[in-house]
Amino acid sequence: MTTLGSTEAIHAVLFGVGDDAARQQFTKHLGSQIAEFESVMSAVYGRWQNFEDQFARDEDSATVVCSLFVVVARLLLSMKLLMLGHIALSGASKRQVLEALAQAFLFSKRGLPYLKQAREGRFSSNKAIGIAVKRSAELSLNRDAVEVLAKARDFYSQFSHATVLAMTDVIGLDGNTSHLGASFDEAKLPFYLHEVTARVNLAKSLVNAIEGIARHMREWPHAG
């Protein structure tokens, strides 16, 4: 294996010299799943655009629309980072997806205090999923499904801190390699498959989630 000098190595990371090679390996091994994700996310983004056109009327409604946009944007980023082997950053981004989705439901439901709290800087996004579990009936959500999100949030929270698990993207499973930038470790393929599949499944749920939030928004005065 060729070892780059320190200057070359830093330059390679900053300018993504190894990015294409890592993506090609992910596409080689997980191409059908990635293609499915792309197709599903195209539909999700289109539905979000329709949602924005229908409901973005003022600061409050724009906050709901923006929360859903974060769901779309961060899920795309999460997959993009995963396809570069950046497991920790991908996991941290997915945690934001889950929190923003719960937040969008809470903000969209007329009569709940959370949108006002957010405007006043008193709402904690990391509590959004827990609140959604407790208020699942009011939000017309399946409590078991929201509890699954809570478990996923707890798992991905480990990637938001310097845990041993979060170090797995920079250390090869053979224990003898380390990666400054993008990488593909074939020994991690079962984990990659699990994580790509999880993002596909989450993406598949988002059109229905947007429809649920749209039902809440139609209860607002002067709704679209």
Check pLDDT > 90 for residue 152.
yes
Contacts of 160 (CB under 8 A, 6+ apart): 91, 92, 95, 166
Model confidence band, residue 119 (pLDDT cutoffs 50, 70, 90): very high
* Lowest-confidence region among 165-169, 207-211, 220-224: 220-224
Percent of the chain with pLDDT over 90: 86
Q: Looking at residues 84-93, what average pLDDT do you find?
A: 96
Q: Closest Cα to residue 4, out of 169, 188, 181?
A: 181
- The span from the CA of 73 to the CA of 111, in Å, is 28
* pLDDT in the model for residue 1: 44
Q: Looking at residues 116-138, what average pLDDT do you find?
A: 96
| DSSP state letter for 109 | S
SS3 63: helix
The rounded mean pLDDT for the chain is 94
| Residue boundaries of the structural domains of the chain | 7-217
Q: Closest Cα to residue 72, out of 57, 52, 56, 53?
A: 52
- The span from the CA of 188 to the CA of 16, in Å, is 21
Q: Looking at residues 62-83, what average pLDDT do you find?
A: 98
Q: Looking at residues 166-193, what average pLDDT do you find?
A: 88
Amino acid at 151: K
